[in-house]
A and B are shown apart, each in its own frame.
Chain A
Amino acid sequence: MTTRLRLDPTACTGHGLCADLLPELIELDEWGYPIVQPGNVPARLLPHARRARDTCPTLALRLVRVRQP
């Protein structure tokens, strides 16, 4: 089991807090909306990823457990 970030683009309104909290995996585009790096969240970044998820004002960011490596 690994963990991935999943963004609901219809919920996201571009507050941009996630990119501050998890710059390793999330950057903002020129309009202030997050570009999420695809792939697994490395274990060392999991606490930061959870903070990013919990801080999102619109609950647009989720952490999902996936079975494949």
Chain B
Amino acid sequence: MTGADVAGRDVAARDAAGQPSTGAARLMAGWRETGRSATAADHLERYGPLPLRGPGAGGRRGLRGGGLRARGLAEAVAEAGLTGRGGAGFPTGTKMRAVAAGGGTPVVVANGMEGEPASSKDEALLTLAPHLVLDGAVLAAAAVGAPVAHLCLSRHRPELIERVLAALADRQQAWTDPVAIEVHAVPHHYVSGEETALIRWLNGGQAKPAATPPRPHERGVRRQPTLVDNVETLAHVALIARYGPDWFRQAGRPDAPGTMLVTVSGSVTHPGVREIELGTPVGEVLARCGAAETTEAVLVGGYFGSWHDAGSIAGVPITAGDLRRLGASPGAGALVALPAGACGLNETARVLAYLAGQSAGQCGPCMFGLASIAEDFALLAAGRPGGALFGRLERRLGVVKGRGACGHPDGAVRLAASALATFSADASAHARHMPCAAARRDHPGPPVLPVPRRLAEEEWQ
């Protein structure tokens, strides 16, 4: 595996040794047992053929226990209460229904871009259980009447693309899918995984977000109704198609059913990807990963997410509803524990500079506003804020929010505002020209939040 360390097998062993079992391994169940990536044969043995009937369908053996006809899949997914696992958290069944009802020739796009630097769960899933994702894409396509499913991966993960292509070849040797799957290597930017950016790129344009309406389900690839779902979401669809909505709801909570993949990093002894039940408290997830007791703050939801005091977020269940009360969101499931001694303001300043550089450069408030906000944060982190900084920063955060075509400026604003609130004591100290040791240039601590290099302008095409 590269880049996507998966924690959990050691934990599975610990569970067997008397620790309470999480019971959360669904997408990762095969890997937990075998410890290797699932081949088409492994997949077939574990899950059987696609639960789909009709000409050309792989499921010659017909319906399996609780399996559903493709036509009923949108209803089953809606009943299961599955929400998108890519960050936005929109109800998947609602989207599938809208695309199926849209007329024309629908298109399915499986989004495996994972532009969030703090997340590696999609890469882990595509590596360990590629056929669950591919099944989900095929089943969703069959359900909405799409003849083709496009799997979009980052151009900057050539090894992952190779692995997925190998899985696809392995699969095509084993059986025939009723839907064509095309794998695409899309330019890698923070915003190019945004659904309208994928559609623009698949239509021959740049991988930059587009203003909406029209939404993709109305008019997307080749102007047809288009279902864009995160790859993890589609893997859950593949399981719902086999085992039904009631099974899906056996994990999680009635108002937040199922499991989700999270990526945990920072001051933990076992960083990596884990599968958790929705509703598991933040502190419990961190504890399972061996979080240091000295952890003072947690970044919830990745770089579009928010900082929280470790003590006040620990007991909060990971669901959209519970986190919303604190102004947070699960996002794509990235959690970062800030080590004691690291400077939250300094980390945030680095990430804001990165996010400003990742603007697609289409909307003025994002292009200029994020750069200005990042400059303010850099001054604050360096302990050179000047008298007007806080007022100016507050005003800029308010002015930029909601004025981009996509959610990029809003995500950056949320991160910045949460840093000011969570690290307010640090901010006051920095403002008195006393940056903490971690932020001082002569004592730069190791960076906690990874910031990828910036790509050249032509690499949007």
Contacts and interface: CB of A to CB of B under 8 A. Distances in A.
Given A9-B365, A33-B364, A35-B403, 5 more contacts: A9-B363, A12-B363, A13-B364, A14-B364, A29-B399
B369 A29 contact: yes
A42 interface: no
Given A35-B399, A35-B403, A10 B365 contact: no
A31 B211 contact: no
B404 interface: yes
B405 interface: yes
A13 to B, nearest CB: 7
A58 B211 CA distance: 15
A31 B369 contact: yes
Contact of A10 (B363, B368, B369, B399): B363
Contacts, number: 40
A35 B396 CA distance: 12
Q: Categorize the interface residue count of chain A.
A: 10 to 19
Interface in A10-46: 10-14, 29-33, 35
A33 B365 contact: yes
A9 B410 CA distance: 14
Q: Categorize the interface residue count of chain B.
A: 10 to 19
B207 to A, nearest CB: 14
Given A31-B368, A32-B364, A10 B403 contact: no
Contacts of A33: 364-365, 368, 403
Contact of B365 (A8, A13, A31): A31
**Nearest 8 CB-CB pairs, A to B?**
A33-B364, A9-B363, A31-B368, A10-B362, A10-B405, A8-B211, A14-B364, A10-B211
Nearest to A31: B368
Nearest to A12: B364
Contacts of B403: 9, 33, 35
Nearest to B409: A9
A67 to B, nearest CB: 15
A11 B362 CA distance: 8
Nearest to B364: A33
Best-buried of B364, B368, B372, B403 by chain A (most CB within 10 Å): B364
Contacts of A10: 210-211, 362-363, 405
Nearest to A14: B364
A8 B210 CA distance: 10
Interface string B341-380: 0000000000000000000001111101100100000000
Contact of A31 (B210, B362, B364, B404): B364
